[in-house]
Chain A
Amino acid sequence: MDLIKENLLTILILLPTVGAIAAIAYKAVTKDDSSQRWFALIITTLNFLISLLMFTRGVPAVGGFEFEQNVPWIPAIHTNYHVGVDGLSFWLVLLTTFIMPLSVLCAWTAVEKKKTAFFAFLLLLESAMLGVFVTLDLLVFYLFFEASLIPMFFLIGVWGGKNRIYAAVKFFIFTAVGSLLMLVAIISLYYIYAGAVQGSGSFDFVEILAAMQSGKLVLGSQAGMLLFFAFALSFAIKVPIFPVHTWLPDAHTEAPTAGSVILAAILLKMGTYGLMRFNFAFFPDQARETAWIFITLAVIGIIYGALVAMVQPDWKRLIAYTSVAHMGFVVLGMFSFTELGMQGAVYQMLNHGVSTGALFILVGFAYERRHTREISEYGGLANVMPNYAAIFIITTMSSIGLPFLNGFVGEFLIMVGMFKSNILNVTASTNWNYVAAMAAGIGVILAAVYLLWLVQRVFFGKVTNPENKKLTDLNAREIGLMIPLLIAMVVMGVYPRPFLERTDRAIKTIEARVMKSAGGAVEKTELDTKALENR
């Protein structure tokens, strides 16, 4: 057990890859293409159980990490395999390991061709995503960040819908363009560090941050801004933030169900996570100065996403656009630079993962039965599939943000945070922070409109299309895989405290760094005692 705990994160990253190789080897030997889903299910479940061991250790101290491992990878260029979790990454790791078995289950019968390759790619994707969330070395982070593209590219391209090739290539190129500039920024930072400490450079997040906090490494305003945008662009594309979001509807719509679920639930979080982890910590001044840009884009994204979602004739595309709106909320909360707003942002990342993931799974169920995503093809499903309708409506409510369900907590925190924020201008006549918060509020109303309208069109009324009359309700596997998601929605809606407590210290540190810092260190003692009191 101790051995597992000491290498916990490494095991989490490697286990799915080993599983993928085993599945392919099994196929090569036996020519059996149907039992690999069991490989995938067992491995992902095992990974989830192992990830629960993270609860055995508490919240790390300010700037510290738990389950840390640091071994040289390529000493010739001073890059290390350095992993660890803190409050920021803790829940994202759990979210990943939690969603993966569910997405394996939802692909159980939906995938009809080349099953081995499909499940192998799912497993490889899990490795890459976990790597992104736990890596503390910039070069290795970049490595995982890029590596996650390849399995997703194949998932969309091979198993996707009609327009899959276009969607897959667009997805890949959009994301790759952004991240390549980040690579330049990472290498530049390496040399800036080398110059600052008069020694060899470093890719290590902790070392670079320490040099910045101690004032050894001071970025010039121009260099800082360039580096900030090089990082921010790649993350903004991943989130996606408004003008660079166009890959998302295509990728989401064309991807197979499991792919859409992972894309929505986990991959998008890599963007917001990256912004919080790297942009805020490394470039607090630039983050503060450019907050108005991101807030504006976030508000546009919220309203634009909602309006576009409203008019979609395609069920899956509609939900894809809700992601643009919801991720806009996350960005808004992050850039409010208030503790509440940022807590809400992290919480909303998890909520979005659970609710939108669930919505995509549910759409997948309908698609598997009817092989169409046109909303007009459906109608009155509540009569023939009552269980399905019930689950769908609960999930919708969670996505809209009904009190006592998870979405409410996140959106509420973000809006309160934005109201309390003073990041935007306050003029005699207008407090722009209020304006941003209220504009986001309109987004919540619009979300209710388009989702309830969708529910009405799909589930209520009479069954008009004869093909819908013989539809079967959800089977045991399908209900079984929805139950954990429903439980998560309720628990996170009713009792958010343990979730917020884990993230509390990390968020406070980031907030303090952005708001107080002109390179200054956080008063450790004050924060530590506060966190202790909270427990």
Chain B
Amino acid sequence: MSNFLLAQLTTPNADVTLILPEIVVALAGIVVMLYDSFFPKQKAVSGAIGMLGILISAVLLVLMWGDSYSGSAWSGMIAHDNLRLSFGLVFLMIAAMTILASTLWVDIEGVPTGEFHALLLFATFGMMMMAAGNDLVVIFLGLETSSIATYVMAGLRKGDLRSNESALKYFVLGSFASAFLLYGMALVYGATGTTNIPLIAASVGAAKFPALLLIGSAMMIVGFGFKVALAPFHVWTPDVYEGAPAPITGFMAAGPKAAAFSSFLRVFVLGFPLVAGAQAAGILHETWISLLAVLGIITILFGNVAAILQNNIKRMLAYSSIAHAGYATVGFVGAGLAKTATERNEAIAAVAFYLFVYAITNLGAFAIVSLLGQRNDRRADFEDYNGIGFKAPLLSFSLSVFMLSLLGMPLTAGFIGKVLVFRPALESGNVLLVALVVVAVIGSAISAYYYLRLLVVMFFRERAVDWTPPRVPSALMTAIAAAVVAVLYFGLFSNGLIRKFSNAAPKAADVRAER
């Protein structure tokens, strides 16, 4: 009896400090929601609260870097490693950029500001949990939190049919994918007896039902593949991206995708490693590596070829985001084949860096597209950009920098990102991976056509109708300028960030779980 009481009295191992950055973001969301219900007419305050929350959270994340935390909080459910910290920073950056880039849209279309900002913060919280989750259950909860918020955001333009279609499509297909993922998780639990990822890694070698493990992991690939939009699970993207308002599209192409990559990486690279002498684990490892490499090849080819055919810039960027998911997969598969922990960390950091760069470039591009697109993104075809190059030099210069970075031209961050993700794949020396890299560079060459097309219409063609450059609101200007500076800065001085991403704190969570 007394034992029973004691057990009840023991404080649960809930160290709040370990998830403080996530909590701050969620709190900011709640404050925004409350504030909005009392002052529904406000426009700037909720954004300011959100930015403040993001900033505090980012500072906390940076402070956590390198600390030697070794508590046993949350029973090993929360990871504390470079994967979580670097992806966390990526998400916060995405959220901040989205708040800044959406100000104009919120203004001219009368979007309920408070709701939007609250949803954005909750989505960010969910994404951070996905990166932090060291347990399949936490990952799934994070995924759902972020997905549901994003479904709603896609439909925020209530009067627009395309926006409604976008939201509904995203919701129906997204739920379907979540179901796949959840079922896959259940099967993996059945095979290994645990949902804790380090424990899964420790037991894949001795899994009782190897077939269950294989089917489970395949279903998880389907689920995650949907979220990161790998071909052939990508079909929802173009319609959803085109229908959603441009700032939200920018967010969706960057945020949920990066978040899904963070959990995808954690579950597969850290959860299904190669275990020496264990046949089941060997088969599993080989299967997921080859499967992902093949999916990567299809994705890169499909995304790039389809993007060539688009006449709408939002659609073009949607297809290009599919191709970029393929490039990130190159680094991902490379991480899976890494021989040492250092190599693996470097590969994971490469993917994080790549997605960081992709996110900031893409958000910058979508900020400009939403600015030039006017109400309901009417002006988002290539023709609408004819000859604006020398009329709005700063905007066109920024957009050109973004396109060149997406293309991976040297002196932009996109180039460094590509080099980084190709490295681990080539390092492995695996034939399939070398083929994947070759396909990736061929894909980059194809992508030159459609990225350059934007430069061509802006600078080389003449404008037939009169056009005056729009006034750029200061928040939007800040977002665009920050993106340009970041793209050029990380094109030249990327060392600090790469180092930061690749060696973070010791893996306290791993240690805890293994004990």
Contacts and interface: CB of A to CB of B under 8 A. Distances in A.
Contacts of B418: 183
B459 A158 contact: yes
B66 interface: no
Contacts of A176: 444-445, 448
20 contacts: A74-B494, A76-B495, A77-B419, A77-B420, A139-B419, A147-B411, A150-B404, A165-B456, A168-B460, A169-B452, A173-B445, A173-B449, A176-B448, A180-B444, A183-B419, A184-B426, A187-B422, A190-B423, A191-B426, A194-B427
Interface stretch (B183-191, B312-320, B434-442): B434-442
A74 B495 contact: yes
A74 B410 contact: no
A164 B460 contact: yes
Interface in B58-76: none
A522 B261 CA distance: 51
A143 interface: yes
A408 B407 CA distance: 44
B426 A147 contact: no
Nearest to A143: B410
A65 interface: no
A370 interface: no
Contacts of A172: 448, 452
A77 B452 contact: no
A114 to B, nearest CB: 6
A189 to B, nearest CB: 10
Nearest to B457: A165
A188 B426 contact: yes
A154 interface: yes
B409 interface: yes
Nearest to B346: A76
Nearest to B411: A147
What range describes how many residues of A lie at the interface? 35 or more
Given A147-B410, A153-B455, 7 more contacts: A77-B419, A143-B411, A147-B411, A157-B456, A172-B448, A173-B449, A180-B442
B409 A147 contact: yes
B28 to A, nearest CB: 33
B410 A184 contact: no
A73 B496 CA distance: 11
Contacts of A187: 419, 422-423, 426
B498 interface: yes
A150 B495 contact: no
Contacts, number: 90
B416 interface: yes
Contacts of A149: 409
A169 B438 contact: no
Interface in A121-179: 139, 142-144, 146-147, 149-150, 153-154, 157-158, 164-165, 168-169, 172-173, 176-177
Contacts of A173: 445, 448-449, 452
Contacts of A74: 416, 494-495, 498
A164 B434 CA distance: 37
A75 interface: yes
A73 B493 CA distance: 8
B343 to A, nearest CB: 11
Contacts of A139: 419
Contacts of B456: 157, 165, 168-169
Interface in B395-444: 404, 409-411, 415-416, 418-420, 422-423, 426-427, 429, 434, 437-438, 441-442, 444
A173 B441 CA distance: 12
A117 B459 CA distance: 11
A531 interface: no
Contacts of A154: 459
Given A74-B416, A114-B390, A191-B426, A142 B445 contact: no
A165 B495 contact: no
A259 to B, nearest CB: 14
B502 interface: yes
A191 B449 CA distance: 31
Interface in B361-417: 390, 404, 409-411, 415-416
A14 B459 CA distance: 26
B167 to A, nearest CB: 37
A191 to B, nearest CB: 5
Contacts of B410: 142-144, 146-147
Contact of B441 (A117, A153, A184): A184
A176 B502 CA distance: 30
B460 A158 contact: yes
A42 interface: no
A476 B419 CA distance: 50
Contacts of A194: 427
A358 B121 CA distance: 63
A75 B409 contact: no
- Of all A-B residue pairs in the complex, the 8 with the closest CB atoms, nearest first, are A143-B410, A180-B441, A76-B498, A157-B460, A177-B445, A146-B410, A74-B495, A187-B426
Contacts of B455: 153, 157
Nearest to B498: A76
Contacts of A76: 494-495, 498-499, 502
Contacts of A77: 419-420, 423, 498
A158 B494 CA distance: 32
